[in-house]
Chains A and B, each alone.
Chain A
Amino acid sequence: MKRGVVYTETIVHSPPELFAREVPYQLAIIDLEGGGRVTVRIAGERVAIGDTVKWLESRNGIDFFEKTS
Protein backbone atom coordinates (compact mmCIF):
# COMPACT_ATOMS: atom_id res chain seq x y z
CA MET A 1 0.00 0.00 0.00
CA LYS A 2 1.36 3.42 -1.02
CA ARG A 3 2.30 5.76 1.81
CA GLY A 4 3.78 9.22 1.83
CA VAL A 5 4.52 12.39 3.78
CA VAL A 6 2.74 15.69 3.10
CA TYR A 7 5.18 18.18 1.49
CA THR A 8 2.53 20.92 1.15
CA GLU A 9 -1.25 21.25 1.05
CA THR A 10 -4.20 23.56 0.46
CA ILE A 11 -7.97 23.58 0.73
CA VAL A 12 -9.61 24.69 -2.51
CA HIS A 13 -12.70 26.90 -2.21
CA SER A 14 -12.83 28.33 -5.73
CA PRO A 15 -12.85 25.37 -8.11
CA PRO A 16 -12.67 24.87 -11.85
CA GLU A 17 -16.05 23.98 -13.44
CA LEU A 18 -15.34 20.28 -13.35
CA PHE A 19 -14.98 20.12 -9.55
CA ALA A 20 -17.61 22.73 -8.67
CA ARG A 21 -19.69 20.25 -6.66
CA GLU A 22 -16.79 18.98 -4.56
CA VAL A 23 -15.62 22.16 -2.77
CA PRO A 24 -14.12 22.61 -0.34
CA TYR A 25 -11.58 19.88 -1.01
CA GLN A 26 -7.99 19.33 0.11
CA LEU A 27 -5.11 18.91 -2.31
CA ALA A 28 -1.64 17.87 -1.24
CA ILE A 29 1.74 17.28 -2.79
CA ILE A 30 3.20 14.24 -1.07
CA ASP A 31 6.62 12.65 -1.01
CA LEU A 32 6.01 8.95 -1.60
CA GLU A 33 7.77 6.31 0.44
CA GLY A 34 10.50 4.95 -1.81
CA GLY A 35 10.74 8.17 -3.82
CA GLY A 36 8.67 10.40 -6.07
CA ARG A 37 6.46 13.41 -5.46
CA VAL A 38 2.82 13.52 -6.60
CA THR A 39 -0.24 15.76 -6.31
CA VAL A 40 -3.19 13.94 -4.75
CA ARG A 41 -6.54 14.54 -3.10
CA ILE A 42 -7.03 14.05 0.63
CA ALA A 43 -10.10 12.26 1.98
CA GLY A 44 -11.43 12.62 5.51
CA GLU A 45 -9.48 14.44 8.20
CA ARG A 46 -7.53 17.53 7.16
CA VAL A 47 -3.75 17.02 6.89
CA ALA A 48 -0.79 19.36 7.47
CA ILE A 49 2.82 19.46 6.28
CA GLY A 50 4.75 16.53 7.73
CA ASP A 51 1.72 14.30 8.28
CA THR A 52 1.93 10.71 7.08
CA VAL A 53 -0.77 9.63 4.65
CA LYS A 54 -1.72 6.34 2.99
CA TRP A 55 -3.51 5.56 -0.26
CA LEU A 56 -7.25 5.10 0.26
CA GLU A 57 -8.88 4.66 -3.13
CA SER A 58 -9.05 5.82 -6.71
CA ARG A 59 -12.19 7.66 -7.84
CA ASN A 60 -12.52 8.41 -11.55
CA GLY A 61 -8.78 7.90 -11.88
CA ILE A 62 -7.97 10.36 -9.07
CA ASP A 63 -5.90 9.04 -6.17
CA PHE A 64 -7.24 9.85 -2.71
CA PHE A 65 -5.00 9.55 0.34
CA GLU A 66 -5.96 9.74 4.02
CA LYS A 67 -4.15 10.57 7.22
CA THR A 68 -2.71 7.55 9.05
CA SER A 69 -3.82 7.30 12.63
Chain B
Amino acid sequence: MALADAGVAAEAVESFYLGNFAGPSFAGQNHLAPYVASGAGIRGVPATRFEAACASSGSAFFHAVTAVAAGVYDVAVAAGVETMTCQPTPRVTEILAGAGDLAGEVRVGATFPSLFAMIARRHMHEFGTTREQMAAVAVKNHANGALNPLAHLRKRITMEQALAGKPVSEPLTVYDCSLISDGAAAVVIIPLERARDFPGISLRILGIAQASDYVALDAKDDITSFRANRVAAEKAYRMAGLGPGEVDLAEVHDCFTIAEIVALEDLGFVARGEGGPATVAGWTALNGRLPVNTSGGLKSKGHPVGATGVGQICDLAIQMRGAAGERQVERRRVGLAQNLGGSGATSVVTILGAA
Protein backbone atom coordinates (compact mmCIF):
# COMPACT_ATOMS: atom_id res chain seq x y z
CA MET B 1 0.00 0.00 0.00
CA ALA B 2 2.82 2.42 0.86
CA LEU B 3 4.50 1.59 -2.45
CA ALA B 4 1.29 2.17 -4.43
CA ASP B 5 0.59 5.39 -2.54
CA ALA B 6 4.10 6.69 -3.27
CA GLY B 7 4.01 5.50 -6.89
CA VAL B 8 7.07 3.30 -6.37
CA ALA B 9 7.51 -0.16 -7.92
CA ALA B 10 8.65 -2.94 -5.57
CA GLU B 11 11.60 -3.53 -7.92
CA ALA B 12 12.83 0.03 -7.27
CA VAL B 13 13.27 -0.54 -3.52
CA GLU B 14 16.97 -0.77 -2.63
CA SER B 15 16.75 -1.61 1.06
CA PHE B 16 14.06 -2.74 3.50
CA TYR B 17 13.99 -1.90 7.23
CA LEU B 18 11.46 -3.71 9.40
CA GLY B 19 10.56 -2.79 12.96
CA ASN B 20 9.24 -5.69 14.99
CA PHE B 21 9.46 -6.20 18.74
CA ALA B 22 8.58 -9.80 19.42
CA GLY B 23 7.28 -11.66 16.39
CA PRO B 24 9.14 -14.82 17.41
CA SER B 25 7.45 -14.75 20.85
CA PHE B 26 3.98 -13.66 19.75
CA ALA B 27 3.67 -15.74 16.59
CA GLY B 28 6.72 -18.04 16.56
CA GLN B 29 7.92 -16.61 13.25
CA ASN B 30 11.53 -15.51 13.06
CA HIS B 31 13.49 -14.08 10.12
CA LEU B 32 10.69 -11.57 9.65
CA ALA B 33 12.33 -8.89 7.48
CA PRO B 34 12.77 -10.99 4.31
CA TYR B 35 9.45 -12.69 5.12
CA VAL B 36 7.56 -9.37 5.04
CA ALA B 37 9.67 -7.83 2.24
CA SER B 38 9.15 -10.73 -0.12
CA GLY B 39 5.44 -10.65 0.63
CA ALA B 40 5.47 -7.09 -0.69
CA GLY B 41 7.43 -8.16 -3.79
CA ILE B 42 10.72 -6.76 -2.50
CA ARG B 43 13.51 -9.30 -3.14
CA GLY B 44 17.24 -9.32 -3.74
CA VAL B 45 18.00 -6.36 -1.44
CA PRO B 46 19.01 -6.02 2.22
CA ALA B 47 16.02 -6.75 4.46
CA THR B 48 16.76 -6.33 8.14
CA ARG B 49 14.72 -6.46 11.33
CA PHE B 50 15.16 -3.77 14.01
CA GLU B 51 14.19 -4.39 17.63
CA ALA B 52 13.98 -1.54 20.13
CA ALA B 53 10.92 -2.58 22.15
CA CYS B 54 8.00 -0.26 21.35
CA ALA B 55 10.36 1.97 19.36
CA SER B 56 11.29 -0.85 16.97
CA SER B 57 9.89 0.73 13.83
CA GLY B 58 10.89 4.23 14.92
CA SER B 59 14.40 2.82 14.97
CA ALA B 60 13.94 1.07 11.60
CA PHE B 61 12.72 4.40 10.17
CA PHE B 62 15.65 6.30 11.70
CA HIS B 63 18.16 3.89 10.16
CA ALA B 64 16.43 3.95 6.77
CA VAL B 65 16.51 7.75 6.76
CA THR B 66 20.16 7.73 7.82
CA ALA B 67 21.15 5.43 4.94
CA VAL B 68 19.24 7.49 2.36
CA ALA B 69 20.63 10.76 3.73
CA ALA B 70 24.15 9.30 3.53
CA GLY B 71 23.60 8.54 -0.15
CA VAL B 72 23.76 4.76 0.22
CA TYR B 73 20.28 4.20 -1.24
CA ASP B 74 17.84 6.22 -3.30
CA VAL B 75 14.72 4.26 -2.38
CA ALA B 76 14.29 2.66 1.05
CA VAL B 77 11.21 1.27 2.73
CA ALA B 78 10.75 1.41 6.50
CA ALA B 79 7.95 -0.71 7.89
CA GLY B 80 6.70 -2.06 11.19
CA VAL B 81 4.62 -5.08 12.04
CA GLU B 82 3.29 -6.80 15.16
CA THR B 83 0.63 -9.40 15.85
CA MET B 84 -0.30 -9.59 19.53
CA THR B 85 -3.91 -10.71 19.86
CA CYS B 86 -2.92 -14.31 19.14
CA GLN B 87 -1.81 -14.63 22.79
CA PRO B 88 -3.81 -14.33 26.04
CA THR B 89 -3.25 -11.13 28.08
CA PRO B 90 -1.02 -12.67 30.83
CA ARG B 91 1.29 -14.04 28.12
CA VAL B 92 1.26 -10.67 26.28
CA THR B 93 2.15 -9.00 29.60
CA GLU B 94 5.06 -11.40 30.02
CA ILE B 95 6.35 -10.93 26.45
CA LEU B 96 6.16 -7.13 26.81
CA ALA B 97 8.01 -7.36 30.14
CA GLY B 98 10.93 -8.73 28.12
CA ALA B 99 11.60 -5.10 27.16
CA GLY B 100 12.42 -4.39 30.82
CA ASP B 101 15.43 -5.50 32.87
CA LEU B 102 14.93 -9.24 33.41
CA ALA B 103 17.68 -9.50 36.02
CA GLY B 104 16.15 -6.80 38.23
CA GLU B 105 12.68 -5.27 37.95
CA VAL B 106 11.05 -8.04 35.90
CA ARG B 107 12.43 -10.81 38.11
CA VAL B 108 10.63 -9.38 41.14
CA GLY B 109 7.30 -9.02 39.31
CA ALA B 110 7.35 -5.77 37.32
CA THR B 111 5.15 -5.47 34.25
CA PHE B 112 5.07 -2.55 31.82
CA PRO B 113 1.90 -1.12 33.33
CA SER B 114 3.56 -1.36 36.76
CA LEU B 115 6.68 0.50 35.60
CA PHE B 116 4.56 3.33 34.19
CA ALA B 117 2.37 3.21 37.30
CA MET B 118 5.50 3.89 39.36
CA ILE B 119 6.40 6.74 36.99
CA ALA B 120 2.88 8.11 37.46
CA ARG B 121 3.08 7.87 41.26
CA ARG B 122 6.36 9.79 41.30
CA HIS B 123 5.05 12.40 38.83
CA MET B 124 1.97 12.85 41.03
CA HIS B 125 4.21 13.19 44.08
CA GLU B 126 6.59 15.74 42.56
CA PHE B 127 4.24 17.85 40.46
CA GLY B 128 0.77 17.26 41.83
CA THR B 129 -0.35 15.48 38.67
CA THR B 130 -3.78 13.94 39.27
CA ARG B 131 -5.76 10.88 38.21
CA GLU B 132 -8.19 13.27 36.48
CA GLN B 133 -5.37 14.77 34.42
CA MET B 134 -4.27 11.33 33.28
CA ALA B 135 -7.86 10.34 32.53
CA ALA B 136 -8.19 13.51 30.43
CA VAL B 137 -5.49 12.12 28.11
CA ALA B 138 -7.55 8.94 27.62
CA VAL B 139 -10.81 10.85 27.06
CA LYS B 140 -9.15 13.09 24.45
CA ASN B 141 -7.42 10.26 22.60
CA HIS B 142 -10.58 8.13 22.51
CA ALA B 143 -12.51 11.13 21.15
CA ASN B 144 -9.91 11.49 18.37
CA GLY B 145 -9.79 7.76 17.66
CA ALA B 146 -13.58 7.64 17.34
CA LEU B 147 -13.14 9.85 14.25
CA ASN B 148 -10.34 7.73 12.74
CA PRO B 149 -11.53 4.90 10.46
CA LEU B 150 -8.16 3.18 10.95
CA ALA B 151 -8.40 3.14 14.77
CA HIS B 152 -8.61 -0.15 16.67
CA LEU B 153 -11.14 1.00 19.29
CA ARG B 154 -13.44 3.70 17.89
CA LYS B 155 -15.20 4.44 21.13
CA ARG B 156 -15.61 7.65 23.07
CA ILE B 157 -15.22 7.38 26.84
CA THR B 158 -16.23 9.73 29.64
CA MET B 159 -14.09 11.03 32.48
CA GLU B 160 -16.26 9.02 34.90
CA GLN B 161 -15.62 5.79 32.97
CA ALA B 162 -11.90 6.45 32.80
CA LEU B 163 -11.67 7.08 36.54
CA ALA B 164 -13.76 4.04 37.44
CA GLY B 165 -11.84 1.61 35.23
CA LYS B 166 -10.61 -1.71 36.51
CA PRO B 167 -7.20 -1.25 38.16
CA VAL B 168 -4.28 -2.70 36.19
CA SER B 169 -1.43 -1.38 38.29
CA GLU B 170 -2.35 1.40 40.72
CA PRO B 171 -2.89 4.26 40.02
CA LEU B 172 -3.37 3.14 36.38
CA THR B 173 -6.68 1.63 35.30
CA VAL B 174 -7.46 -0.19 32.10
CA TYR B 175 -8.32 3.22 30.58
CA ASP B 176 -4.79 4.49 31.24
CA CYS B 177 -3.29 1.65 29.19
CA SER B 178 -2.87 1.36 25.43
CA LEU B 179 -4.44 -1.50 23.52
CA ILE B 180 -3.15 -4.93 22.62
CA SER B 181 -3.35 -4.69 18.84
CA ASP B 182 -2.34 -6.23 15.56
CA GLY B 183 -1.08 -3.83 12.93
CA ALA B 184 1.39 -2.84 10.28
CA ALA B 185 2.62 0.37 8.67
CA ALA B 186 5.12 1.29 5.96
CA VAL B 187 6.65 4.39 4.38
CA VAL B 188 8.95 5.06 1.41
CA ILE B 189 12.02 7.26 1.87
CA ILE B 190 13.87 8.96 -1.00
CA PRO B 191 16.48 11.74 -1.19
CA LEU B 192 15.16 15.28 -1.76
CA GLU B 193 16.96 15.43 -5.13
CA ARG B 194 14.74 12.61 -6.42
CA ALA B 195 11.47 14.19 -5.23
CA ARG B 196 10.43 15.07 -8.80
CA ASP B 197 10.69 11.42 -9.81
CA PHE B 198 8.27 10.43 -7.06
CA PRO B 199 5.38 12.91 -7.02
CA GLY B 200 3.45 10.62 -4.64
CA ILE B 201 5.91 11.40 -1.85
CA SER B 202 4.75 14.52 -0.16
CA LEU B 203 6.59 15.22 3.08
CA ARG B 204 10.09 16.29 4.05
CA ILE B 205 11.99 14.92 7.01
CA LEU B 206 13.27 18.11 8.65
CA GLY B 207 14.92 16.48 11.63
CA ILE B 208 15.31 13.05 13.19
CA ALA B 209 17.24 11.55 16.10
CA GLN B 210 17.34 8.37 18.13
CA ALA B 211 18.71 8.24 21.69
CA SER B 212 19.16 5.54 24.31
CA ASP B 213 19.40 5.16 28.08
CA TYR B 214 19.43 2.48 30.80
CA VAL B 215 16.81 -0.25 30.33
CA ALA B 216 15.99 -0.59 34.04
CA LEU B 217 13.71 2.06 35.49
CA ASP B 218 15.54 1.93 38.83
CA ALA B 219 18.84 2.76 37.08
CA LYS B 220 17.56 6.20 36.07
CA ASP B 221 18.14 9.17 38.39
CA ASP B 222 14.79 10.76 37.58
CA ILE B 223 11.82 8.77 36.32
CA THR B 224 9.45 11.73 35.84
CA SER B 225 11.26 12.63 32.61
CA PHE B 226 13.13 10.48 30.08
CA ARG B 227 16.63 11.54 29.18
CA ALA B 228 16.39 9.68 25.85
CA ASN B 229 13.33 11.79 24.94
CA ARG B 230 15.09 15.03 25.81
CA VAL B 231 18.30 14.16 23.94
CA ALA B 232 16.46 12.92 20.82
CA ALA B 233 14.19 15.99 20.83
CA GLU B 234 17.05 18.43 21.20
CA LYS B 235 18.96 16.84 18.32
CA ALA B 236 15.89 16.64 16.07
CA TYR B 237 14.95 20.28 16.76
CA ARG B 238 18.53 21.37 16.03
CA MET B 239 18.60 19.43 12.75
CA ALA B 240 15.26 20.94 11.74
CA GLY B 241 16.25 24.44 12.84
CA LEU B 242 12.96 24.66 14.71
CA GLY B 243 11.76 24.84 18.28
CA PRO B 244 8.80 23.22 20.01
CA GLY B 245 6.76 26.42 19.54
CA GLU B 246 6.83 25.93 15.77
CA VAL B 247 5.30 22.44 15.80
CA ASP B 248 1.69 22.39 14.51
CA LEU B 249 0.69 18.88 15.55
CA ALA B 250 2.26 15.86 17.22
CA GLU B 251 1.86 12.12 17.55
CA VAL B 252 3.41 11.09 20.87
CA HIS B 253 3.91 7.71 22.50
CA ASP B 254 0.93 7.37 24.85
CA CYS B 255 1.53 3.74 25.77
CA PHE B 256 0.08 4.88 29.11
CA THR B 257 -1.65 8.19 29.80
CA ILE B 258 1.23 9.35 32.01
CA ALA B 259 3.61 8.75 29.08
CA GLU B 260 1.79 11.40 27.01
CA ILE B 261 2.05 13.86 29.91
CA VAL B 262 5.80 13.15 30.26
CA ALA B 263 6.25 13.43 26.47
CA LEU B 264 4.60 16.87 26.35
CA GLU B 265 7.13 18.00 28.96
CA ASP B 266 10.20 16.25 27.53
CA LEU B 267 9.51 17.58 24.03
CA GLY B 268 9.45 21.13 25.39
CA PHE B 269 5.80 21.79 24.55
CA VAL B 270 5.09 22.65 28.19
CA ALA B 271 7.17 23.12 31.34
CA ARG B 272 7.91 20.23 33.71
CA GLY B 273 4.78 19.33 35.65
CA GLU B 274 2.48 21.20 33.25
CA GLY B 275 1.57 18.26 31.00
CA GLY B 276 -1.48 17.29 33.06
CA PRO B 277 -2.95 20.78 33.50
CA ALA B 278 -2.35 21.57 29.79
CA THR B 279 -4.31 18.46 28.81
CA VAL B 280 -7.25 19.33 31.08
CA ALA B 281 -7.22 22.86 29.64
CA GLY B 282 -7.75 21.43 26.15
CA TRP B 283 -4.37 22.61 24.90
CA THR B 284 -3.72 19.27 23.14
CA ALA B 285 -7.26 18.66 21.86
CA LEU B 286 -8.15 18.61 18.14
CA ASN B 287 -9.04 22.30 18.29
CA GLY B 288 -6.32 23.18 20.81
CA ARG B 289 -3.10 25.12 20.41
CA LEU B 290 -1.14 21.91 19.70
CA PRO B 291 -3.29 18.92 18.70
CA VAL B 292 -1.64 15.76 20.06
CA ASN B 293 -2.47 12.23 18.92
CA THR B 294 -5.16 13.23 16.47
CA SER B 295 -5.09 9.58 15.30
CA GLY B 296 -6.35 8.45 18.69
CA GLY B 297 -2.82 7.55 19.74
CA LEU B 298 -1.74 4.22 21.10
CA LYS B 299 -4.70 4.45 23.46
CA SER B 300 -7.44 4.32 20.83
CA LYS B 301 -5.82 3.86 17.42
CA GLY B 302 -3.98 0.94 19.01
CA HIS B 303 -0.45 -0.17 19.87
CA PRO B 304 0.87 -3.04 17.77
CA VAL B 305 4.20 -2.32 19.40
CA GLY B 306 6.64 -2.94 16.54
CA ALA B 307 4.44 -1.05 14.06
CA THR B 308 3.79 2.02 16.18
CA GLY B 309 6.77 4.21 15.21
CA VAL B 310 6.14 4.05 11.47
CA GLY B 311 2.40 4.18 12.15
CA GLN B 312 2.90 7.59 13.78
CA ILE B 313 4.69 8.84 10.64
CA CYS B 314 1.73 7.63 8.54
CA ASP B 315 -0.71 9.37 10.92
CA LEU B 316 1.18 12.66 10.56
CA ALA B 317 1.21 12.21 6.76
CA ILE B 318 -2.59 11.78 6.70
CA GLN B 319 -3.03 15.05 8.62
CA MET B 320 -0.32 16.98 6.77
CA ARG B 321 -1.81 16.03 3.40
CA GLY B 322 -5.18 17.28 4.60
CA ALA B 323 -6.72 13.81 4.35
CA ALA B 324 -7.85 13.38 7.97
CA GLY B 325 -11.54 14.01 7.33
CA GLU B 326 -13.60 14.88 10.40
CA ARG B 327 -10.52 15.15 12.58
CA GLN B 328 -8.53 17.36 10.17
CA VAL B 329 -6.54 20.07 11.91
CA GLU B 330 -6.02 23.52 10.36
CA ARG B 331 -2.35 24.19 11.02
CA ARG B 332 -0.40 21.31 9.46
CA ARG B 333 2.95 22.53 8.16
CA VAL B 334 5.17 20.98 10.84
CA GLY B 335 4.46 17.64 12.51
CA LEU B 336 6.42 15.85 15.22
CA ALA B 337 6.43 12.14 16.10
CA GLN B 338 7.90 10.70 19.30
CA ASN B 339 8.29 6.93 19.66
CA LEU B 340 9.40 5.51 23.02
CA GLY B 341 10.93 2.10 23.70
CA GLY B 342 10.59 0.43 27.09
CA SER B 343 10.51 2.72 30.10
CA GLY B 344 12.60 5.27 28.23
CA ALA B 345 15.58 3.20 27.05
CA THR B 346 15.01 4.26 23.44
CA SER B 347 13.40 7.35 22.00
CA VAL B 348 13.06 8.39 18.38
CA VAL B 349 11.90 11.91 17.54
CA THR B 350 11.06 12.90 13.95
CA ILE B 351 10.05 16.32 12.65
CA LEU B 352 8.23 16.40 9.32
CA GLY B 353 7.55 19.39 7.11
CA ALA B 354 4.98 19.85 4.39
CA ALA B 355 6.68 19.64 0.99
A1 proximal to B (CB < 8 A): no
B78-119 vs A, CB cutoff 8 Å, 1 = contact: the mask equals 000000000001110110010000001111111101100111
Q: How distant is the Cα of A37 from the Cα of B216 in the complex, in angstroms?
A: 11
Q: How distant is the Cα of A40 from the Cα of B218 in the complex, in angstroms?
A: 10
Contact A13 B109 (CB under 8 A): no
Q: How distant is the Cα of A8 from the Cα of B93 in the complex, in angstroms?
A: 21
B69 proximal to A (CB < 8 A): no
A51 proximal to B (CB < 8 A): no
Residue of A nearest to B167 (CB): A13
- Known A14-B113, A29-B217, A49-B125; further 11 A-B contacts with Cβ < 8 A: A8-B223, A12-B110, A12-B114, A13-B167, A13-B168, A14-B111, A27-B109, A38-B218, A41-B109, A49-B121, A63-B108
* CB-defined contacts of B125 to chain A, threshold 8 Å: 8, 49
B282 to chain A, nearest CB (A): 29
Contact A62 B223 (CB under 8 A): no
A1-12 vs B, CB cutoff 8 Å, 1 = contact: the mask equals 000000111111
B122 proximal to A (CB < 8 A): yes
Contact A13 B218 (CB under 8 A): no
The contact size tier of chain B is 20 to 34
B304 to chain A, nearest CB (A): 19
* CB-defined contacts of A12 to chain B, threshold 8 Å: 109-111, 113-114, 117, 169
Contact A16 B118 (CB under 8 A): no
The contact size tier of chain A is 20 to 34
* CB-defined contacts of A10 to chain B, threshold 8 Å: 114, 117-118, 121, 169-172
* CB-defined contacts of A40 to chain B, threshold 8 Å: 108
Contact A15 B218 (CB under 8 A): no
Contact A27 B114 (CB under 8 A): yes
Q: How distant is the Cα of A40 from the Cα of B110 in the complex, in angstroms?
A: 9
Binding site for B on A (CB under 8 A): 7-20, 22, 25, 27-29, 37-41, 49, 61-63
* CB-defined contacts of B217 to chain A, threshold 8 Å: 29, 39
Known: A8-B223, A38-B218, A49-B125. A62 touches B113 (CB 8 A): no
* CB-defined contacts of A14 to chain B, threshold 8 Å: 89-90, 93, 111, 113, 168-169
Known: A16-B97, A29-B218. A22 touches B109 (CB 8 A): yes
Contact B169 A7 (CB under 8 A): no
Q: How distant is the Cα of A47 from the Cα of B107 in the complex, in angstroms?
A: 20
* CB-defined contacts of A25 to chain B, threshold 8 Å: 109
Residue of B nearest to A17 (CB): B90
Contact B119 A8 (CB under 8 A): yes
* CB-defined contacts of A8 to chain B, threshold 8 Å: 118-119, 121-122, 125, 223
Which residues of chain B from 127 to 168 have any CB-CB distance to chain A below 8 Å in the complex?
166-168
Contact A27 B113 (CB under 8 A): no
A-B contact pairs, 8 of them (CB 8 A): A8-B118, A8-B223, A12-B169, A14-B168, A25-B109, A27-B114, A28-B118, A49-B121
A39 to chain B, nearest CB (A): 4
* CB-defined contacts of A63 to chain B, threshold 8 Å: 108
* CB-defined contacts of B122 to chain A, threshold 8 Å: 7-8, 49
Q: How distant is the Cα of A31 from the Cα of B106 in the complex, in angstroms?
A: 18
* CB-defined contacts of A29 to chain B, threshold 8 Å: 118, 217-218, 223
A51 to chain B, nearest CB (A): 12
* CB-defined contacts of B121 to chain A, threshold 8 Å: 8-10, 49
Q: How distant is the Cα of A61 from the Cα of B106 in the complex, in angstroms?
A: 12
Closest 10 CB pairs of A and B: A10-B117, A16-B94, A8-B118, A39-B105, A8-B122, A11-B170, A14-B168, A17-B90, A13-B167, A8-B121
Residue of A nearest to B109 (CB): A19
* CB-defined contacts of A13 to chain B, threshold 8 Å: 166-170
Known: A9-B118, A49-B125, A63-B108. A17 touches B218 (CB 8 A): no
Residue of B nearest to A25 (CB): B109
Which residues of chain B from 183 to 222 have any CB-CB distance to chain A below 8 Å in the complex?
216-219
